[in-house]
Amino acid sequence: MSSADSQKSKMLAGELYIASDPELWAAHLRSQDLLTRFNMTAATAETERRTLLTELFNGLGEETVIKPSLRCDYGFNITIGSRTFINYDCVLLDCNLITIGNEVQVAPGVHIYTGTHPLEAKIRRSGLEYALPVSVGDGVWLGGRAVVCPGVSIGENTVVGAGSVVTHDLPANVLAVGSPCRVIRQL
């Protein structure tokens, strides 16, 4: 268990931390082993895939489908609701919490990032980084190759256009596109 001043605790609190910490490195290696096994499963191995993802993630809802290949840092910071579909080649960098709701559609190549780095070069070059949680509401559709940046919340039923870079929170029930992503209309 992590103490209050551990690097893991700092990471989850959004504070500066050192990712090469032994506890975090061991957790990272564990997740990479599970991901390697998941990404190598046969297309017909639905039970094996679900078992591996259940071991990897904090929570995985019923009838959720995730296609390989998938990448993440730790897995234990990821919770995915029911009846969600995550298509091929997605990246979920979970240095902080990633919460994906129910009935979410995630197109191929979507990247969700919680990890980020200090703007000041001296601090950044010291190896310190930090992470902010990401939340994707129920019924959201993230278009192909969309990028969701650290600290962003996306409201329920919102559609994010392909190739968009989401740098700020998006409200519920809107269509948002572009880089940076902007709301273009209500749904």
Spell out a b/e string for 31-59, using b for 16 or more CB atoms within 10 Å of the CB, else e.
Answer: beebbeebeeeeeeeeeebbebbeebbee
Residue 117 a catalytic site member: yes
Helix, strand, coil distribution of the chain in percent, nearest 5: 20, 30, 50
**CA pair distance 46, 132, nearest whole angstrom:** 32
Cα Rg for the chain, rounded, in angstroms?
A: 16
Check 28, 111, 117, 168 and give the catalytic one.
117
**What are the residue numbers of the active site?**
117
